[in-house]
């Protein structure tokens, strides 16, 4: 570009973002680019920082010369190559976003199931003509404005990778990959009192409590005194219940909670130690916790 020319940069559909007239630069407010764009007056080129997927689109450069207007279009394609993990409660809904606020007429949207972008085609939007794969018709909603999909009433059968590829002409415009993990609601933990033989002085009397919960993928079991976590356990073996003991020595009075949690749900049972462990002894107060 010639240093004596005036320039206009726009993003489709014809929204000006940068103007150079007589060597003076104006960045248009309200476009989302004004604080991230740098215009090189000498060449008319621009640099955009902190790109996001929503910046994808067609950039139009117009050079005003004495003989007319020269135009050149650029396809700005921003890809999100990172995996986006999502945890969903069984029976719940989840929306997988394309990253676009509005599709262009030339966009072709393809959603696939599987770890790469060549997996099973489950939904497609092309020139506002839609396709939804038969096994997904009852649970998949396709947004015609953004190309995003919403999966309804999810079960473990739909825990998988989901990829979206948006084409603009023959070039990939957007690539995005999700990993959905479906968890059932965690069970309510159960507290019981047990016997234990730990004695540190003649005045010390131990009160042993055991908390247990049905084990499942992603479940943790924790004891709290007030807001402070005392101990926590988890296990990859889901064939047996998850169990965590708490030993209160010589009436360390207070409120205790046993909390069972997974990434999408939590259940807690709270107790007061004076009700579970009647007063006795005057020795030093100590709390022990361990798993069995």
The predicted-structure confidence for 114-157, as pLDDT tens digits, reads as follows 998 889 999 999 987 999 999 999 999 999 999 999 999 999 99
Greatest mean pLDDT among 82-96, 158-172, 195-209? 82-96
Same fold, 6-76 and 190-291: yes
Sign of CA dihedral 279, 283, 286, 291: negative
The torsion of the CA quartet 29, 32, 36, 41, rounded to 10 degrees, works out to: -50
Assess whether pLDDT exceeds 50 at residue 292.
no
pLDDT interval class at 159 (50, 70, 90): very high
Could you report the per-residue pLDDT of 37-55, keeping only the tens digit for each? 888 887 888 898 888 777 8
Q: What pLDDT sits at residue 270? A: 94
Assess whether pLDDT exceeds 50 at residue 199.
no
Q: Tell me whether residue 149 is exposed, middle or buried, using C-beta atoms within 10 angstroms of its C-beta: 0 to 12, 13 to 18, 19 or more.
A: buried
State residue 5 phi and psi, 5-degree precision.
-90, 160
Question: Percent of the chain, pLDDT > 70?
Answer: 87
Query: How far apart, in whole angstroms, are the C-alpha atoms of residue 4 and residue 13?
Result: 27
Query: How far apart, in whole angstroms, are the C-alpha atoms of residue 29 and residue 36?
Result: 11
- Which CATH entry fits the domain spanning 6-76: 3.20.20.210, 1.10.10.350, 2.40.50.100, 2.60.40.10? 2.60.40.10
Q: Do the strands 171-183 and 83-89 form a parallel or antiparallel pair, or are they unpaired? A: parallel
CB 2: neighbour CB atoms within 10 A?
Answer: 12
Query: How far apart, in whole angstroms, are the C-alpha atoms of residue 19 and residue 16?
Result: 7
What residue ranges do the domains of the chain occupy? 6-76, 83-183, 190-291
Mean pLDDT of 221-230: 93
Q: What pLDDT sits at residue 154? A: 96
Assess whether pLDDT exceeds 90 at residue 241.
yes
Question: How would you label 87-100 residue by residue, b for 16+ Cβ within 10 Å and e otherwise?
Answer: bbbeeeebebbbbb
The CATH code of domain 190-291 reads 2.60.40.10
Q: Mention every residue, 6+ apart, whose C-beta is less than 8 A from residue 201.
A: 283, 284
CB 229: neighbour CB atoms within 10 A?
Answer: 13
To which H or E segment does residue 274 belong?
helix 273-276
Query: How far apart, in whole angstroms, are the C-alpha atoms of residue 180 and residue 89?
Result: 10
Q: What is the pTM of this model?
A: 0.68
CATH superfamily of 83-183: Immunoglobulins (2.60.40.10)
CB 176: neighbour CB atoms within 10 A?
Answer: 22
């Amino acid at each position: 570009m010639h240093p004596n020319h005036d320039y206009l940069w726009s993003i489709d559909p014809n929204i000006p973002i940068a103007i150079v007239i007589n060597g003076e630069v104006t960045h248009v407010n309200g476009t989302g680019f004004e604080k991230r764009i740098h215009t090189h007056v000498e060449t008319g080129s621009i640099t955009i920082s902190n790109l996001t997927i929503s910046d994808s689109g067609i950039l139009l450069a117009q050079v005003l010369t004495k003989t007319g207007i020269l135009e050149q279009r650029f396809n700005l394609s921003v890809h999100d190559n990172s995996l986006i993990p999502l945890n969903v409660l069984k029976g719940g809904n989840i929306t997988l976003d394309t990253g676009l606020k509005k599709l262009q007429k030339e966009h072709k949207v393809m959603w696939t199931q599987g770890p790469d972008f060549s997996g099973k085609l489950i939904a497609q939007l092309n020139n506002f003509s839609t396709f939804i794969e038969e096994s997904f018709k009852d649970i998949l909603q396709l947004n015609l404005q953004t190309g995003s999909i919403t999966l309804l009433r999810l079960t473990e059968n739909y825990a998988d990778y989901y990829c979206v590829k948006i084409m603009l002409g023959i070039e990939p415009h957007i690539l995005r990959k999700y990993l959905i993990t479906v968890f059932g609601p965690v069970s309510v933990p159960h507290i019981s009192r047990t016997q234990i033989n730990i004695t540190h002085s003649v005045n010390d009397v131990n009160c042993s409590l055991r908390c247990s919960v049905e084990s499942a993928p992603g479940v943790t079991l924790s004891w709290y005194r007030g807001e402070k976590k005392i101990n926590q356990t988890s296990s990859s073996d889901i064939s047996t219940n998850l169990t965590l003991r708490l030993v209160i020595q010589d009436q360390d009075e207070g409120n205790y909670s046993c909390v069972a949690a997974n990434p999408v749900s939590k259940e807690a049972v709270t107790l007061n130690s004076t009700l579970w462990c009647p007063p006795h002894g005057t020795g030093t107060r100590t709390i022990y916790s361990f798993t069995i």
